Amino acid sequence: MTATITDRGTASGAPSPGRPVRVLSFSQRLSRWDVKLSPYLYISPFFIVFAVAGLFPIVYTAVISFMDWDQIRRSGEWVGFDQYAWILQQPKFWVALGNTFSIFLLSSVPQLILATFIAAMLDRHIRARTFWRMSALLPYVVAPVAVGLIFNALFADNSGQVNEWLGFFGIGPIPWHVEPFWSHVAIATMVNYRWTGYNALILLAAMQAIPRDYYEAATVDGAGPFRQFWSVTLPSLRPTLIFVIITSTIGGLQIFDEPRMFDQFGRGGAGSQWLTITLYLYDIGWGEWNFGRASAMAWILFIIILAIGLINLLVTRSLVRDEGGRGPVLTRAERRAAARARRREARA
Amino acid sequence: MAKRGKTVRIRGSRPGFWVYAGLAVVLVASVFPLYFSFLIGSGDASTLRDPNRSWIPGGNFFANAAAVMNDGAVNFWLALWNSIWSSTIIAVSVVVFSTLAGWAFAKLRFPGGPALLAFVVATMAVPQQLGVVPLYVLFSEIGWTGQIGAIIVPALTSAFGVFWMTQYLRQSVPDELIEAARVDGASMIRVFWTVGVTAARPAAAMLFLFTFVTAWNNFFWPFIVLDRQNPTLPVALSLLQSNYFVDYSIVLAGVVLATLPLLLLFVVAGKQLVSGIMAGAVKG
């Protein structure tokens, strides 16, 4: 594709010397097509890949979800909403949904609080700034599968490292792989390990954008450091906090890697203690080879994410409006610049 | 961290001991799990369950690493090679196509542009799970299940990448520069090449890093579509656990081996990753 545009560019850029007048008009015509078509050519790769790997699967998932799919014949019988009804009648589904939300809450709430405090520390006038920032981000490059394996060992039920530490404080061994709640805590810890530093950096960026005057004014008004943090820093962070909440919600509801690696069987525990929706989807799809049910499950998950996304949209609408306002301003500036250029061209 | 009053800034003032203590805790928390996996990975089968084990690494790391590398069922070297080339292709492709599309959305005016950009952003909310069943059906139809191509093709472009480059180019290139180039008779692609690509370089470098890390660590879809004989590193790691769950020293030696390449990348480019996350956040 790039080659085509380059060819055209060469053709218009280097008119053949023989017949200047006709070539000029030809190149002008080319140039007009160039201006009209180029933007669409530039954005087309995204839309082509999205059509294949995004749009087609979404539509086809909907179709398969209404079928009793047979992967060997790669076709299925139409069964209407049966698969959805089946999913919603499974006690396991409701357990998985509960687990997913439990792990999500146990990870995002402490994570945000911790990230805010880490950001506040990084926001100070510290020495070796980059070093500390990098140390917070380090876990982000460790694969979730690797994190899962490491923490699975740390949280071993019998004399695992965590239980050993708890023993120092006189706390008896916790059955991390048996009790649903504790397995959620362990899995949430893996998520927190990987994402707290990342979110701290996002919040740090937002903190650095807060005008210093606010703090000076607050100091003059007699506000102590804690009051300043509560009344100046936190309110200024609100849009960024919402952004972090949205991204961690979308990611958290899809959680798969960490619970999958939490034991060697990868099926969410003997009693589905840490079965999540995506883990269940995988089991139905590639464990039982029931693609109709797996598709129905995927749509149910999507609807849940959409519902939460919609709530988020209502909250963040003010942000979005601000973002859109930049478009027309730029366009007008562009138009003015174009007009100026045209006048200059006419004069020359 | 312990004393709130001290962690909270009066800007510009010299931070106290507690700030450094808090940051040191963060550092230890970041590094400890990695050290722990090296510690167990350098021991033997009994190390994990031994409550009196030493905190100094044992001498078995290379033996355990050799066990991982020579395990025919796990295919470590093939997994490493697959991860390297697939992540590189994905990252290069995402950078190229995102820069092109970002340039068009940020700097070229065309009918439908803003609506299409909104559409691109909206696609970011679509969960991966929604596509896996039909993609699997599609790829088994054309015989790509088990092939690395099946994880590369869907990842060749990214909505986040397009959004990221659009935001960056919109702010960093003055429109006058483009007009001047156009007036001088440069074709659209020439303007993109000379003005756009030059301006996009820093953002492109960060997008490359993000995409590379994400592609390298991706698990769900590769786990579904790839053959156990032709894995990427995360898939190989997941196989290690089911093969060696009784001997965790080998599993965690494998974790160390699989994590090393990205740790090296982090040492080289961690500073850029940090500033990239912070730059992206201001706009988000």
The whole-chain average pLDDT of chain B stands at 86
Residue type, A185: V
Residue B104 contacts residue A42 (beta carbons within 8 Å): yes
In a domain, A257, yes or no: yes
Nearest CA in chain A to B129: A298
**B199/chain A closest Cα distance in angstroms:** 17
Does any domain span residue A3? no
CB distance from B186 to chain A under 8 Å? yes
Task: Decide: A143 and A229 in contact? Cβ < 8 Å.
Answer: no
CB-closest option in A118, A149, A338 to B237: A149
Given CB atoms, is A164 within the 8 Å cutoff of chain B? yes
Does A51 lie at the interface with B, CB-CB under 8 angstroms?
no
Q: For residue B91, give every residue at least 6 positions away whose Cβ sits within 8 Å of its Cβ, in sequence order, or none.
A: B208, B209, B211, B212, B215
- Taking the model in full, what pTM does it have? 0.85
CB A229 within 8 A of CB A121: no
Domain with A157 in it: 84-322
Quick check: B126 and A42 CB within 8 A? no
Q: Which positions in chain A touch B79 (Cβ < 8 Å)?
A: none
Whether A154 and A297 share a structural domain: yes
List chain B residues with CB under 8 Å of A161: 36
Q: Is residue A9 part of a domain?
A: no
Which tens digits make up the pLDDT trace of A145-187? 999 999 999 998 887 889 888 988 988 889 999 999 999 999 9
Contacts of B70 (CB under 8 A, 6+ apart): none
B59 CA: distance to closest CA in chain A (Å): 19
Q: Is residue A108 part of a domain?
A: yes
Co-location of A112 and A250 in the same domain: yes
Q: Which amino acid is at B263?
A: L
> b/e string for B116-147 if b means 16 or more Cβ within 10 A?
bbeebbebebbbbbbbbbbbbbbbeeeebbbb
Where does a domain end: A82, A115, A143? A82
Smallest Cα distance from B135 to chain A, Å: 6
Q: Do A149 and A222 lie in a common domain?
A: yes
| Of residues A139, A201, A331, nearest to B274 (C-beta) | A201
ipTM confidence: 0.89
CB pairs under 8 A between A and B: 364
pLDDT per position as a tens digit, B124-158: 878 888 889 999 999 988 989 889 999 999 999 99
Whether A332 maps to a domain, the answer reads no
| Cβ-defined contact of A42 to B101 (cutoff 8 Å) | yes
Percent of chain A scoring above 90 in pLDDT: 39
* Residue A70 sits in the same domain as residue A183: no
Domain count within chain A: 2
B113 and A39 in contact by Cβ < 8 A? Answer: yes
A2 Cβ under 8 Å from any chain B Cβ: yes
Of the candidates A52, A257, A265, the beta carbon closest to that of B219 is on: A257
Q: In terms of domains, do A39 and A114 share one?
A: no
Q: Is residue A348 part of a domain?
A: no
Q: Are residues A64 and A105 in the same domain?
A: no
A47 and A108 inside one domain: no
**pLDDT range class, residue B268, cuts 50, 70, 90:** very high
Residues A108 and A249 in one domain: yes
Query: With an 8 Å Cβ cutoff, are B131 and A138 in contact?
Result: no
Considering the domain architecture, whether residues A60 and A138 belong to the same structural domain is answered as no
Q: For A94-105, how does the pLDDT look when each residue is reduced to its tens digit (9 = 90+)?
A: 999 999 999 999
- CA A321, CA A34: separation in Å to the nearest integer? 32
Q: Give the model's pLDDT for residue B30.
A: 95
- Residue A188: is its pLDDT beyond 90? yes
Mean pLDDT of chain A: 82
For residue B86, the tally of other CB atoms under 10 A from its CB is 20
Q: In which band, very low, low, confident or very high, does the pLDDT at B99 lie, cut at 50, 70 and 90?
A: very high
Contact across the interface for A143 and B274, Cβ inside 8 Å: no
Q: Determine the Cα–Cα distance for residues A258 and A188; give it in Å rounded to an integer.
A: 9
Residue A344 domain flag: no
Residue owning tokens 């659209």 = B188
Return the CATH number at A149. 1.10.3720.10
The closest of A195, A51, A218, A74 to A137, measured between CA atoms, is: A195
Mutate which of A42, A52, A316 to disrupt the B interface (most B C-beta within 10 Å)? A42
Q: Rounded to a whole number, what is the distance in Å from the CA of B162 to chain A's nearest CA?
A: 8
Same domain membership, residue A88 and residue A75: no
Question: Are residues B221 and B234 in contact, defined by beta-carbon separation less than 8 angstroms?
Answer: no
Same domain, A162 and A51: no
Full DSSP string of B54-106 = -SS--S-HHHHHHHHHT-TTT-HHHHHHHHHHHHHHHHHHHHHHHHHHHHHHH
Going by pLDDT thresholds of 50, 70 and 90, the confidence category of residue A141 is very high
How would you label A159-190 residue by residue, b for 16+ Cβ within 10 Å and e otherwise?
ebbbbeeeeeeeeeebebbeebebbbbbbbbb
Q: Are residues A46 and A175 in the same domain?
A: no
Residue A155 in domain: yes
